[in-house]
């Protein structure tokens, strides 16, 4: 179980958090609970999430920090793809500085830019990799042909797409990642929709397990594939502890099948 550090910023993923000390506490508690993968992006804030991670966790003993570049921010909840090679190079350099790293363990292309050939964007990350500024390369919000195009240029170790029990449009991408040994990082992993309503299947199973619907949704993800790396995010220590405890929830074959079919 990883931790996604988008929600520790301000409203609309813009500006500093209302409770800075609380954001620091969540990050530190995540590591105390055994989380060793923290996912962020230069666009979260922008820059705020990376700065908080450095303040809370540097020098990151035993914790892998992953960040992303390729989205411009113009205001709260406003996101615009920008994956020009020169922009990605600038953002890698700035992320290194903000995070206090000599190398970024995992750098992910946050979005494919429709105005820039994917091979050019990934090619620049390969150049930065050869320069020793990033270790591994990942992608975000891509389909199988885009992954294959990127694989022709670089070794791709991770794919981060929206995926959860109630939204499985990227099943083919997950299957491709599993076959290729690529980590699949589902963002927005605990969305459950109507499944968690009173009388729904998640509500029923949560009572029998003594677990929350969110914990069951995470347990389903972990059961779905061995390459699955959920990164639920929160700005609450209590919610963080609930999410991490999902690793102790085990679904039976019947429960997994029924949940899969219900969604």
Catalytic residues: 44
- Specify the 3-state DSSP secondary structure of 26: helix
Residues 73/43, Cβ–Cβ less than 8 Å: yes
Structure tokens at 251: 């679904």
Q: Indicate left, alpha or beta for 62 from its phi (over 0: left) and psi (-120 to 50: alpha).
A: left
The whole-angstrom separation of Cα 172 and Cα 182 is: 13
Longest dimension (CA), the chain: 56
Determine the Cα–Cα distance for residues 256 and 259; give it in Å rounded to an integer. 5
The phi and psi torsions of 95 (rounded to 5 degrees) equal -65, -40
Q: Which H helix or E strand runs over 145?
A: helix 144-151
Encoding tokens for residue 14? 């813009």
User: CA triplet 61, 124, 65: central angle to 5 degrees?
Assistant: 15
SS3 of residue 64 by DSSP: strand
Residue reference for tokens 């922008």: 46
């Amino acid at each position: 179980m990883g931790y996604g550090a988008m929600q520790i910023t301000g409203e609309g993923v813009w500006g500093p958090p209302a409770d800075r000390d609380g954001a620091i506490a969540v990050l530190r508690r995540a590591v105390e609970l055994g989380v060793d993968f923290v996912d962020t992006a230069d666009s979260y804030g922008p820059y705020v999430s990376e700065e908080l991670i450095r303040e809370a966790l540097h020098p990151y003993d035993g914790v892998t920090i992953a960040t992303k570049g390729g989205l411009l921010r113009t205001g709260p909840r406003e996101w615009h793809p920008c994956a020009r090679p020169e922009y990605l190079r600038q953002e890698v350099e700035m992320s290194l500085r903000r995070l206090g790293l000599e190398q970024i363990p995992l750098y992910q292309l946050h979005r494919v830019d429709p105005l820039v050939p994917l091979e050019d964007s990934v090619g620049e990350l390969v150049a930065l990799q050869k320069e020793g500024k990033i270790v591994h390369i990942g992608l975000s919000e891509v389909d199988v042909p885009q992954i294959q195009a990127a694989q022709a240029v670089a070794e791709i170790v991770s794919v981060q797409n929206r995926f959860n029990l109630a939204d499985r449009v990227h099943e083919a991408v997950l299957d491709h990642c599993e076959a290729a040994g690529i980590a699949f990082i589902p963002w927005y992993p605990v969305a459950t929709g109507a499944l968690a309503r009173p009388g729904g299947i998640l509500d029923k199973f949560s009572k029998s397990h003594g677990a929350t619907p969110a914990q069951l949704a995470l347990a389903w993800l972990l059961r779905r594939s061995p390459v699955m790396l959920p990164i639920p995010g929160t700005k609450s220590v209590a919610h963080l502890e609930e999410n991490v405890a999902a690793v102790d929830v085990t679904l039976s074959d019947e429960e997994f099948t029924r949940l899969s079919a219900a969604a």
